[in-house]
Amino acid sequence: MNRRTALQSLLKLIVLHVFVLSSFAASTAVGLFVLWLGQFIIPALSPHVAVVGAVTVRGVGLAAVFGLPMLVVVMLRRRWFCRWLCPVGLIVDSCAKARPGAKYGYRKIPPIGQWLMLATLGGAIIGWPLFLWLDPLSIFAASLNASRWPLDAAAIGSLSVMAGIVVMSLVLPKLWCFKLCPLGGMQEMLFGVKLLAARKRSETPASLSGVALARRSAIFAGLGLAGGLVVAGSDRKRNQPQLRPPGAVDDTKFKGLCARCGNCVKACPSGIIRQDIRLSDPAGLLTPVVYFKKGVEDPEEYDKYCLADCRACTQACPTGAIASLSLSDKLCRPIGLAEVDMSGCRLKDGIQCSICVFEICPQDAINTNNINAFDIEIVIDSNKCNGCGACVLICPEKVIEVLPNGRYAIAPIDAGGA
């Protein structure tokens, strides 16, 4: 092994360890720094995620600030990201070394990774990047973030995808990197553009000629655009919006922009963010949803709601599906609105109960209203409620739930309640 190869392996090994350590980082200065690197900065370096995310949200967020400069690097240096930074690339290389005599007969296999990348970019134009979740950094992060016990279906699914890449790499060494990875496909195409711009036609593979690039880009971007329109249209007709973490974009766009990396699930200290495993909504499979337990009896679980002084999930998203928010901004981006089913409330039967009114709501958004001399109802102040779910937890009759809504521009809630 020469010095260059050794340095490449060392750097990828460091990146891999940062990823792994970020999944178990402690709440110390060093631990938070490792968490910041592993869950946000390194995933944001992916030019695939940066470009597709910027096109989808029609803007350049903090994540793109890290990823877009990498475009220049990979254009100048062929597959630089794969060779120097990608932890999945290191795993694939290690699997290849387990079969040193294996032949790489992949010339006849088409560049599927490029097709996936172009289709994703085409779909991003209308806000539905179809295959963004196949970015290798997202896959690797999701497999690490699935390290929770007991394992649920979402965790098993994330681990299975990474395991599939490992098995594939043992049977067909480097097939993932050479032909299937959309991030690798983007780098290959960008380097081809660089060669064409420099007029080094003798070094440019036939598959990366100007005509081939233009034709392929038009065909597969168009297919991605059409596919995105079909999926988005079907999704709007079939599904109701889900409860999403604070700062989430429009629900339909969220399903396309989310990389399914699990960062927000891992970051949430209350454990209220889970990955959606409903097969009835394939477009939203493994996207994060907010879930509140109803009527918990254990006082130690009374803090399992969206805490007013927490914005961890808004700092963990590398794609822009969840905006990076300050605490004051978070109050202007409610999760939803609490709703009480009065038909099951104790007050309807004349039984005294004031738990949700006086004992739990951090925003003072719940009040009572005397309908007449005998009947009282619960009233939710929509200008104060941010859908934190505290009332859902404590209601003994389990008649409160938080419904999704689109109130993303209401007046800020009084910070005194935070």
Q: Which tokens belong to 384?
A: 């104060």
Tokens matching residue 210 = 């100007």
Question: CB-based burial of residue 409 (10 Å sphere; 0-12 exposed, 13-18 middle, 19+ buried)?
Answer: exposed
Q: In which residue ranges of the chain is pLDDT below 50?
A: 407-418
Pull the structure tokens for residue 304.
Answer: 């399992």
Coil/strand/helix, residue 259: coil
End-to-end CA distance of the chain: 57
User: How far is 322 from 315, CA to CA, in rounded Å?
Assistant: 8
Do residues 128 and 253 touch, judged by C-beta distance below 8 A?
A: yes
Q: Where are the domains of the chain?
A: 3-238, 251-417
The residue type at 234: S
SS3 call for 367: strand
For a pLDDT cut of 70, what percent of the chain falls above it? 83
Which alpha helices (H) appear in 146-177, and where do they start and end?
153-171, 175
Other residues' Cβ atoms within 10 Å of the Cβ of residue 294: 15
**Among 201, 174, 186, 23, which Cα is nearest to 100's?**
174
pLDDT score for 40: 67
Q: What count of other Cβ atoms lies within 10 Å of the Cβ of residue 6?
A: 10
Residues 358/406, Cβ–Cβ less than 8 Å: no
Q: What share of the chain is helix, strand, coil (3-state, %, to 5)?
A: 55, 5, 40
- The confidence score (pLDDT) of residue 180 equals 93
Given this model, what pLDDT does residue 12 score? 78
Tokens 């690490």 map to which residue? 144
* Angstrom distance (rounded) from CA 317 to CA 76: 28
Contacts of residue 287, defined as CB under 8 A and 6 or more positions apart, other chains included, come to: 242, 254, 255, 258, 260, 275, 276
R_g of the chain computed on alpha carbons: 24
Please state, in angstroms and rounded to a whole number, the distance separating the CA atoms of residues 341 and 377: 10
Q: Provide the pLDDT for residue 414.
A: 42
Structure-block tokens of residue 300: 């130690």
CA distance 78 to 92: 18
As a whole number of angstroms, the distance between CA 88 and CA 135 comes to 10
Structure tokens belonging to residue 80: 């630089």
pLDDT at 306: 93
The pLDDT, as a whole number, for residue 406 is 56
Round to whole Å and give the CA distance between 114 and 159.
24
Cβ–Cβ < 8 Å for 127, 320: no
Spatial contact of 258 and 319, defined as CB atoms under 8 Å apart? yes
**364-412 pLDDT, tens per residue?**
888 888 777 677 788 888 888 889 999 998 888 889 999 887 544 433 3
Token readout for 74 is: 């990979």
Which long-range contacts link 202-207 to residues 24+ away (Cβ below 8 Å)? Answer: 207/111
Give the ranges where 132-273 is alpha helix by DSSP (H): 136-145, 153-171, 175, 182-197, 210-238, 251-257, 263-267
